[in-house]
Amino acid sequence: MHGLIDPSTSSKISRALLVEVKELAKQFQRKFQRIPAFMEVCGSHTMSLARTGVKKALQDDIRLISGPGCPVCVTDQATIDAMISLTDGDDRIICTFGDMMRVPGSYGTLMQAKAEGKDIRVVYSPVDAVRIAEQNPQKEVIFLGIGFETTIPTIAAALKEAEEKGVYNFSIWMTSKLTAPILRHLLNNKEVALDGFLLPGHVSIVMGRKHWEFLADEYHLPGVISGFEAVDVLNGIRRLLMLALEQKALVLNEYRSVVPEEGNKHANFWMDHYFTLSDEPWRGIGIIPQSGMDIREEYRPFNAKEKFSVPMRSPRKTKCRCGEVIRGLIDPPECVLFGKACTPMNPIGPCMVSSEGSCAAYYQYMREE
């Protein structure tokens, strides 16, 4: 046994769980003559599995595949280029989450644009961008709306505040994404064989356990919603193995303290109030119908895509294989640039920049020296 679990208060439980998980994985292997394969679809799980040593400790027993769970990583190159091009106009303030600053576009980064004098600000909440717009009425303030179901309600809260206060110099460049459509896409395309999903705790807080029942009903696969500590992810994997061994397609909630059955009704109401389903481009995949949310027609004045035209150029081609990483087709070290031309200090693709990216997780915690 190597790698080993973080020395948190639950380390004893984690060690016992690790032994149990390894035993269950052996049973699976004996029964099906192969090792089980599970996908996590949350960037925080990707980081947690790497940071706690769980992924390394189980690497010979279970294939733990990182899926499309990092919102920056799944954003396609043309969209990133468009968002960087947005900085070109006069009298604009661009507001974004910090991860976006270093994401390489084809022709530079937001960080470089800021160094060249563009007004680009890191915010911790979309509502902060509304405040900046109020303080700068002579400027156009554009928030870059990247995120999954965890972030979309916070963007809705910003839109609500801007609407109520009449802050019309505030707008949003939406490129948010939804998790269920990408899972359906991966399963329909059968590019990667899976025995179940470790389901995202944070998205499930908003969407609820029932949201994932299609995995069991339509694809006959189990899923387990889990928290983020070593003990949580190990327990989630343990439950997945038990279901897979018995070939039971069920969706279990192992994060019951915060994840409800039906989701957060309030958050879902405001999401639906301001946004509508939209076709979204995904890195390495292309457009998936109805896989994102965009601003409803009646709130057009807050839609940055309607307000500002941005020249769409063909993205510059690189050897970055983030598109395959997020689909679970390769592990980061299979990219020739990993750890050489591409490092956290000098990232070539978003999977190495983001604090939730698979390549960054691998580089920080799983790299063989």
The total number of residues written for the chain in this structure: 369
Q: Does 342 bind ligand SF4 (CB under 6 A)?
A: yes
Q: Which is nearer to ligand SF4, 260 or 344 (CB)?
A: 344
Supply the minimum distance, in Å, between the C-beta of residue 347 and ligand SF4. Answer: 6
Nearest approach in angstroms of CB 329 to ligand SF4 is 11
Does the footprint of ligand SF4 cover residue 70 (CB under 6 A)? no
Query: Residue 114 and residue 323: Cα distance in Å, rounded?
Result: 27
CB of 323 to ligand SF4, least distance (A): 8
Cα separation, 249 vs 332, in Å, equals 30
Which residue among 203, 332, 361, 366 contacts ligand SF4 (CB under 6 A)?
332
Name residue 95's beta-bridge partners: 121, 143
Per CB under 6 A, 49 contacts ligand SF4: no
Which residues face 107 on adjacent strands?
A: none
Closer to ligand SF4 by CB, 259 or 359: give it.
359
**d(C-alpha 260, C-alpha 253), whole Å:** 9
Binding of residue 186 to ligand SF4 (CB under 6 A): no
Our separate counts of H helices and E strands in the chain read: 16, 12
Measured distance CA(237)–CA(62) in Å, rounded = 9
- Position 200 contacts ligand SF4 (CB under 6 A): no
Q: Can you tell me which of 320, 326, 361, 366 binds ligand SF4, judged by CB under 6 A?
A: 320
Contact status, residue 167 vs residue 127, Cβ threshold 8 Å: no
Query: Distance (Å, rounded) from C-alpha 45 to C-alpha 48?
Result: 5
3-class state of residue 249 by DSSP: coil
**Is residue 338 involved in binding ligand SF4 (CB under 6 A)?**
yes
Site for ligand SF4 in 225-244 (CB under 6 A): none
Binding site for ligand SF4 (CB under 6 A): 320-322, 325, 332, 335, 337-338, 342, 348-349, 351-352, 359
